[in-house]
A and B are shown apart, each in its own frame.
Chain A
Amino acid sequence: MLKSKILSLAARRLRASFAFCLFVASAHAASSDADLKAVESDLNALGNRIQRLQDLNEVQIVQHAYGYYVDKAQWRSLADLFADDATLEIGGKGVFLGKKRVFEYMTVGLGAIGPHDGLLIDHQQFQCLPTIHEDGVSAEMRCIAFVMSSGGWGHVYYEDDFIKENGVWKFKKLHGPFNMYSGYKAGWVDNVIVNTFPEKFPPWPDLPPTIIYLTYPSYYIEPFHYPNPVTGNPMPAPSPRAGGEAFGR
């Protein structure tokens, strides 16, 4: 009797301590799981931000590579920077649809493949301001092409769209409105070219220009794809009375 009492007491103690031990163990496991989850979610969020930093560099590489290919008329390498269904619109020439037409625009419109001694066409890419969108697979970028060519000077903006396909950033849309083109001798005081237009030289565009405008000495502002980085306000419309309405979208 006593023996069985003692045994049952012992068993109770054992059960109790066992239960206590289990409780301790499971409590420990629970808190560690929660900790791991928290760390994992922090790493996820940081991973996205780090990826954005990498994306910023990668889209800029595509734009900058474009400039170096133009320099040497390496049109095939240049066209390879575009997505298959990308579009291109430069100056007032109209819109070219698809990578093949991008290649045609370059080879037919701008000259045969490869550098030609005596012909300088440096298209320097300056001041790129990229925005990677929340989806992580689309981006926009404003840039300048500052042109030093055998003919003189050029200043062009880009407002380009990029798409990430299979982990690779490509041009989705290249849009390059002109700001100023001038000859060398007098600079932009005189002898400026106000824009190109569809019929000026072959090949003919697939679509008409999305916008008709005149560049320097007239005023045209290509809209900013981004809001003011400090106020967050969208771009205000330019005032016609300040000279700022040489276009209508």
Chain B
Amino acid sequence: MAIRSKAVPVACGLFLGLVLCSSGIAKDDASRLKALKSRVNAIAAETAYVESITQIQRLGRAFGYYTDKGFFGEAADLFTDNGTFQWGVDGVYKGKARIRELLTRHGGGSLKEAPGLPFGRLNLRMQLQPMVTVAADGNSAHARWREWGLLGQYKKEAVWGDAIAEDDYVKENGVWKIATRRYYLNFEAPYQGGWAALKPVTGSWPSAVAKEFPPDAPAPKAYAPFPTVFVPPYHYADGTLRAIQSRAPFDVPKRPDDSLGKLEARADAQELQLAREHSVRAIENLQAMYGYYIDKGQWQKAAALFSRDGSYEFGQSGVYIGNAHVERGLSLMGPQGLETGQLNNYVMVQPIIHVSDDNRTAKVRWRSDVQLSRAGQGRWGGGVYENEYVNDKGTWRFSKLHYYVTFWGDYEQGWAAKPIPMDAASTTIPPDRPPTVVYQSFPKLQVVPYHYVNPVSGKPNAGE
């Protein structure tokens, strides 16, 4: 009896032991589940972050398409209700109605008969090279853009426009909007003569629009446009690298073959897929950042974007290896910071971005249009990059930059009438290695090898 009466708790104890034992697994499961849930939250946050970058790119591009064709009200609608637009040194215009009128007056449209443009008016304002930094809270952001304008009036004038915009954005009720655009006009140069013929401004240089349509507030700081070299303030001057960061490389762990393990493995796969898309945006930003530094002769800042053993190769000038030598190679373009009258615009466009399956490296084809000025001579250039990048503990760097020159051409006569050959390797600042590919630029044509197969057929390029 005594034995039997003990048998009950023993039996029960045994059973409870089993339960406890299984809830020992359950406890482990619970902590795994908790970890998985917090990873899912992190994936959600990172997804929203990368989406924000793409949505801000979309805003800037939509702005360009509206202004191109005189949809100035639509363009102003991309701003917050109390959004502001700072135009050059003119000053600041506040609120959608004022921004609409500002854009209409500059673009040559009609406030009464909008949208549209009158016969003969050209107002193409291409919005290029976005460098987007989303704040840690996910509700505010900054971006730097390049505006390349083709402006004018038929039979009257053709004008090149060049400007940098530094924008602030806010997310209101889940929608990204432009809060502030600081539009740093660099030049509006008559087609005849181009930017190289521009004379320095003396004193203040308000636009004709500002004289008839005064701003609501003065510009916070005056500056002089080209041919003076002015660097519009960078929103990333505080050293934040968030825009060129993504997830550091990680090994995908092996997960147990249970129902929780299957979900863990799925989260792993999604983390990696997301990390690669995040990297796509970080690399776009990196190339844009590089371009903005090159524009202004900031060789040191540009060279710092390379990995320690990164290489730089331009045309037939040879290969420079390591940050210090890359900087020397870049300095072949001119003195640090450039001199008055030197224009060094390298427009970074048309990326074909392939991040490796493991998110450790990337290859990208880019294109650059080049607008130069040296000693009063204007020059056009065009070329293709085949670059390589490395994910250095979560920060993307150039491991190899290779610019193939398609053409150089004299501004006055054009590339067809007066192509200019490439420079040979420098003898004063010699490269570490000779050019990896020997070729001639226009009028010769060279197919720059593609790092990718045809994205649809999957076939390698057979030259046809």
A residues with a Cβ closer than 8 A to B are: 3, 6-7, 10, 13-14, 17-18, 21, 24-25, 28, 32, 35-36, 39-40, 42-43, 46-47, 49-51, 53-54, 56-58, 60-62, 64-65, 67-68, 71-72, 74-77, 80-82, 113-120, 122, 124-129, 142, 144, 146, 148, 150-153, 155, 168-170, 179-180, 182, 184-190, 192, 216-219, 221, 224, 226, 228-231, 233, 235-236, 238-245
**Given that A57-B280, A127-B61, A230-B59 are contacting pairs, would A117 and B445 also be in contact in the complex, using a CB cutoff of 8 Å?**
yes
Partner of B382, one of A114, A122, A188: A122
Q: Which secondary structure dominates where chain B touches chain A? A: mixed
Offer 29 A-B interface pairs, CB within 8 angstroms, sorted by A.
Answer: A24-B23, A25-B23, A36-B259, A43-B266, A46-B40, A50-B274, A62-B456, A64-B351, A68-B352, A81-B454, A113-B464, A114-B464, A115-B446, A118-B443, A125-B350, A179-B68, A182-B158, A184-B417, A187-B191, A188-B191, A189-B153, A189-B155, A218-B119, A219-B119, A230-B59, A230-B176, A233-B74, A238-B69, A241-B110
B62 in contact with A50 (CB, 8 Å): no
Interface centre among A10, A53, A128 (most CB of B within 10 A): A53
A217 in contact with B119 (CB, 8 Å): yes
Taking CB atoms and an 8 Å cut-off, the chain B residues in 29-66 that contact chain A are 29-30, 33, 36-37, 40, 43-44, 47, 50-51, 54-55, 58-59, 61-62, 64-65
B residues with a Cβ closer than 8 A to A are: 1, 4-5, 7-8, 11-12, 15-16, 19, 22-23, 26, 29-30, 33, 36-37, 40, 43-44, 47, 50-51, 54-55, 58-59, 61-62, 64-65, 68-71, 73-74, 77-79, 109-110, 113-122, 124, 126-128, 150, 152-158, 175-177, 191-192, 259-260, 263, 266-267, 270, 273-274, 276-277, 280, 349-353, 365, 367, 369, 380, 382, 384, 406-407, 414-417, 442-447, 450, 452, 454-457, 459, 461-464
Residues of chain A within 8 A (CB-CB) of B191 are 186-189
B12 in contact with A14 (CB, 8 Å): yes
Residues of chain B within 8 A (CB-CB) of A7 are 4
Partner of B65, one of A114, A142, A184, A217: A142
Q: Give bound CA distance, A21 to B4, whole Å.
A: 21
Q: Give bound CA distance, A81 to B119, whole Å.
A: 37
**Given that A77-B464, A230-B59, A242-B70 are contacting pairs, would A219 and B117 also be in contact in the complex, using a CB cutoff of 8 Å?**
yes
Q: Give bound CA distance, A226 to B58, whole Å.
A: 11
A231 in contact with B77 (CB, 8 Å): yes
**Given that A54-B273, A144-B126, A187-B158 are contacting pairs, would A228 and B74 also be in contact in the complex, using a CB cutoff of 8 Å?**
yes
Q: Give bound CA distance, A14 to B13, whole Å.
A: 10
Residues of chain B within 8 A (CB-CB) of A113 are 464
Chain A min CB distance to B15 (Å)? 5
Q: Give bound CA distance, A77 to B458, whole Å.
A: 10
Given A43-B266, A50-B43, A122-B406; 17 other pairs, CB 8 A cutoff:
A46-B44, A53-B47, A53-B274, A53-B277, A57-B277, A82-B456, A115-B445, A117-B444, A122-B382, A192-B154, A217-B119, A228-B78, A236-B71, A236-B115, A239-B113, A242-B110, A244-B69
Partner of B16, one of A21, A68, A169: A21
Q: Give bound CA distance, A238 to B289, whole Å.
A: 37
Residues of chain B within 8 A (CB-CB) of A187 are 152, 158, 191
Q: Give bound CA distance, A239 to B69, whole Å.
A: 11
Partner of B116, one of A60, A117, A243: A243
A57 to B, closest residue via Cβ: B280
Q: Give bound CA distance, A165 to B454, whole Å.
A: 15
A238 to B, closest residue via Cβ: B116
**Given that A6-B4, A17-B16, A230-B78 are contacting pairs, would A43 and B270 also be in contact in the complex, using a CB cutoff of 8 Å?**
yes
Chain B min CB distance to A160 (Å)? 13
Residues of chain A within 8 A (CB-CB) of B351 are 60, 64
A228 in contact with B62 (CB, 8 Å): yes
B119 to A, closest residue via Cβ: A243
Q: Which 4 A-B pairs have the closest CB atoms?
A: A244-B116, A242-B116, A217-B154, A187-B158
B277 in contact with A54 (CB, 8 Å): yes
Residues of chain B within 8 A (CB-CB) of A184 are 414, 416-417
Q: Give bound CA distance, A14 to B170, whole Å.
A: 64
Chain B min CB distance to A20 (Å)? 9
Partner of A61, one of B65, B68, B352: B352
Residues of chain B within 8 A (CB-CB) of A182 are 158
Q: Give bound CA distance, A118 to B79, whole Å.
A: 46
Chain A min CB distance to B285 (Å)? 14
Q: Give bound CA distance, A218 to B109, whole Å.
A: 14
**Given that A77-B464, A80-B456, A189-B158 are contacting pairs, would A57 and B62 also be in contact in the complex, using a CB cutoff of 8 Å?**
no
Residues of chain A within 8 A (CB-CB) of B367 are 67-68, 124
A180 to B, closest residue via Cβ: B122
Q: Give bound CA distance, A81 to B461, whole Å.
A: 12
Chain A min CB distance to B159 (Å)? 9
A80 in contact with B4 (CB, 8 Å): no
